[in-house]
Amino acid sequence: MLDGLFRPRAVAVIGASANPYSIGHIVVRNLVQYGFKGPVFPVNPKGGVIRSMQAYESILDVPCDVDLVNISIRNVFVPKVLDECGKKGVKFAIVHSAGFKEVGPEGEALEREMVAAAHRNGIRLFGPNSQGIQNADPEVSVYANFTFVPQKPGNVSIVAQGGGMGEMLKLHLHNVGLGHRMYCSYGNECDLTMPEILAYYGQDEGTRVIMMQTESFKDPRAFLEAAAAITPHKPILAIKAGRTSEGSQAVSSHTGALVDQATMAEAMYRKAGVVQFTDTHQMIKAAIAMSTQDPPPGNRIGIITNTGGPGIQAVDESVSQGLELARWSAAGTAKLKDALFAEASLGNPVDVVATADHNHYHAAVSTLLAEADTDMVMVFFVTAPFTDTNAIAMRIKEATEGSHKPVVVVVETFSENYGLIDKLRAADLPVFEFAEDGARALAAMNRDARLRERPREEAPALDVDRDAAAKILARYRGSGSYLPQADAFALLAAYGVPVPKTAAVAGEGDLAAAVAQTGFPCVLKVDAADVIHKSDAGGVVLGIADTEQLNSAFAAMRAAFPGDGVGFLLMEQKPKGRELIVGATASPGLGSLVLFGLGGVFVEVMKDVAAAVAPLSRPEARELMGLIRGRAVLEGLRGEEGVDMDALEDLLLRVSRLAADMPEIVEMDLNPVFAYPVGVAPCAVDVRIKVS
């Protein structure tokens, strides 16, 4: 439990200083200014007076129990101070000081020393190189952080790796009067980890929505588990910095992370039901909407406006973001017709026209909210100079009472009328400036609702021969090389992944027995670990129809690939099916990602590949197939038959299970897999598997 961090009874600030530009000073100021409920103790070995408080020379001099200390002294002094804190019984230490892991090997050593000091003293460390924490819960009101946005209680909690980003999220909640609940920017994450904080937010009753920003995941598996446990109860909105390769390089120079985690993050977010954003502002707007509005039961939006153009912008953006335009029942349309001006448009958007008054707005909003086939409502309102804008605000609010469907309001107005916006916000209605923003906020709420209502299943038990697979892999573990074809196919077969019939061929004498296994037509391949691009090197002969062709193909290949270490493989030639690629790649700290795509131009030109965390559950396997843009191909084009999706699902489950069971597989590439119409099993006709 992190109560000692987020609900401390007393806080000491070690490194508190009279210099108003110092971190220690600002933390003291923030704690006092925002009314921390417990006592604050400035600590400075030189003593002195800080903001009218007498500083203590040592934490040991503080006259009562202290749960939390903020430390902003020189990096090298931190371990020693932690020993004193240990004596004092301190539970949590926020280290603002920088100069640790992020600056190289020397800092890394110092960080290890500091962590050791903390652990021997029973202290959990937050940071270093961190901003600190806040909890705006009025029972605590702790601002143990050196930033500048005023603290006001709200229900959105924020956890950010980067301080600038965390502050940005807090700032823009503040700008719309919402405030926040808990806040932290955690820096180097040397001891206390982001997933622990996330789990704490998840259990906090005052937190309705969580926003997070991450640059790199220290423990992806722990994050995945923490997030998945929270999303059934409350939404998590997330930005992962570094979605482009250039951005990922920038992350690396900011945090020292080496691995590109963008694909992994996307797969984890989906699995955990976390809503991903790429744009900071859009994430904040979604949080604003979710802070007061319930999730929409479906994806059908109703739009009300008093001016045409912004209504169309809302339609374009809604549809682009996956919402559908609701249609009204006959009774609903009749109600609108009765209540609105004759020149009003009764379609979707409902255009109440610029001269509409508060009763027109009330009628439109309440009618749409009562429609069974409308799941959410966006109200656009330009403050035309001939209307009583305050009355309109009041009546919009009244119309939403008693409904659980989300409503957002977009107001186009000049600063003279900002009071109206304040009134709507005070009535717990989210207000935005642009029609597109309203549409996007509702679309994000829909994404969240649809993500969170997905069936959650465990990866199923499968009839696999784990021992056989382990035995094969044992021969290569530690080699860092690719498996020979014969063993790669055998490995897949052990997990029930359909592969062609194969037979190893060492010399000419094996051909007859081999072809008795595979039949004609068959394929002859060279099978050596170092011949990866076999077809480019002339190491594959397709369509061998009879014994004569087989003999001559073998003779030619034997001549082309001489040497003792070279084997050959004879394979059943499968009829051409729909070309797919299925793969797996090790994802450090998480396990493996499964990749799925259509072969050929789809992957080469369109980069149309999707990834998911292994092992897959059945719904996840099904979802993965639906994530590619070319998914219509699976269903069949122009009257062609589609592929056997159940069989493909089974293949994905087995590949994902193999990748998850055998962490030494760093790369697995089934390319192509041929898929066939219903009733015919797919088949992995070529495979590359690399072990660590």
- How far apart, in whole angstroms, are the C-alpha atoms of residue 399 and residue 339? 14
Q: Which of residues 119-148 bind its own copies (CB under 8 A)?
A: 146-148
Nearer to its own copies, 213 or 374 (CB): 213
Q: Which of residues 306-335 bind its own copies (CB under 8 A)?
A: 306-313, 315-320, 325
Minimum CB distance to its own copies, residue 28 (Å): 12
Taking CB under 8 A as the binding criterion, the range among 133-141, 159-167, 508-516, 666-674 that sits at the site for its own copies is 159-167
Nearer to its own copies, 88 or 180 (CB): 180
Other beta carbons within 10 Å of 113: 15
Nearer to its own copies, 603 or 691 (CB): 603
- How far apart, in whole angstroms, are the C-alpha atoms of residue 443 and residue 441? 5
Minimum CB distance to its own copies, residue 305 (Å): 8
Q: Which of residues 63-122 bind its own copies (CB under 8 A)?
A: 98, 103
Q: Rounded to 10 degrees, what is the CA torsion of 537, 538, 539, 540?
A: 130
Is the Cβ–Cβ distance between 418 and 282 less than 8 Å? no
Minimum CB distance to its own copies, residue 285 (Å): 11
Minimum CB distance to its own copies, residue 647 (Å): 21
Minimum CB distance to its own copies, residue 72 (Å): 11
Minimum CB distance to its own copies, residue 404 (Å): 26
Nearer to its own copies, 204 or 215 (CB): 215
Contacts of 239 (CB under 8 A, 6+ apart): 165, 212, 213, 214, 276, 277, 278, 280, 283
Minimum CB distance to its own copies, residue 261 (Å): 13
Find the radius of gyration of the CA atoms of the chain: 31
Asked whether position 460 contacts its own copies by CB under 8 A, the answer is no
Q: Rounded to 10 degrees, what is the CA torsion of 130, 166, 257, 195?
A: 80
Give Cα separations from 540 to 554, 558, 599, 689 (angstroms): 10, 12, 19, 18
Minimum CB distance to its own copies, residue 136 (Å): 16
Q: Which of 67, 196, 204, 436 binds its own copies (CB under 8 A)?
A: 436
Nearer to its own copies, 239 or 544 (CB): 239
Q: Which of 73, 168, 190, 658 binds its own copies (CB under 8 A)?
A: 168
Of 461, 459, 456, give the one whose Cα is nearest residue 227: 456
583 phi, psi to nearest 5 deg: -145, 175
Q: Which of residues 386-425 bind its own copies (CB under 8 A)?
A: 386-387, 412-414, 416
Q: Which of residues 487-546 bind its own copies (CB under 8 A)?
A: none
Minimum CB distance to its own copies, residue 314 (Å): 9
Q: Which of residues 627-646 bind its own copies (CB under 8 A)?
A: 629-630, 632-633, 637-638
Burial of 304 per CB tally in 10 Å (0-12, 13-18, 19+): buried
Residues facing 578 on adjacent strands = 675
Nearer to its own copies, 248 or 518 (CB): 248
Nearer to its own copies, 22 or 403 (CB): 22
Q: Which of residues 181-240 bind its own copies (CB under 8 A)?
A: 213, 215, 239
407 phi, psi to nearest 5 deg: -130, 135
Minimum CB distance to its own copies, residue 312 (Å): 4
Q: Which of 2, 10, 16, 26 binds its own copies (CB under 8 A)?
A: 26
Of 459, 468, 499, 687, give the one whose Cα is nearest residue 584: 687
**Count of chain residues binding its own copies (CB under 8 A):** 90
Q: Which of 243, 285, 335, 358 binds its own copies (CB under 8 A)?
A: 243
Minimum CB distance to its own copies, residue 470 (Å): 36
- How far apart, in whole angstroms, are the C-alpha atoms of residue 255 and residue 275? 24
Chain-centre distance for alpha carbon 503: 44
Contacts of 318 (CB under 8 A, 6+ apart): 301, 303, 325, 378, 439, 442, 443
Q: Which of residues 587-606 bind its own copies (CB under 8 A)?
A: 601-602, 604-606
Q: Which of residues 252-311 bind its own copies (CB under 8 A)?
A: 253-255, 278-281, 305-311
Nearer to its own copies, 318 or 617 (CB): 318
Range list of H helices, 427-562: 435-452, 466-474, 485-494, 511-518, 547-560
- How far apart, in whole angstroms, are the C-alpha atoms of residue 648 and residue 683? 9
The 8-class DSSP code of residue 484 comes to: P
The 8-class DSSP code of residue 635 comes to: H
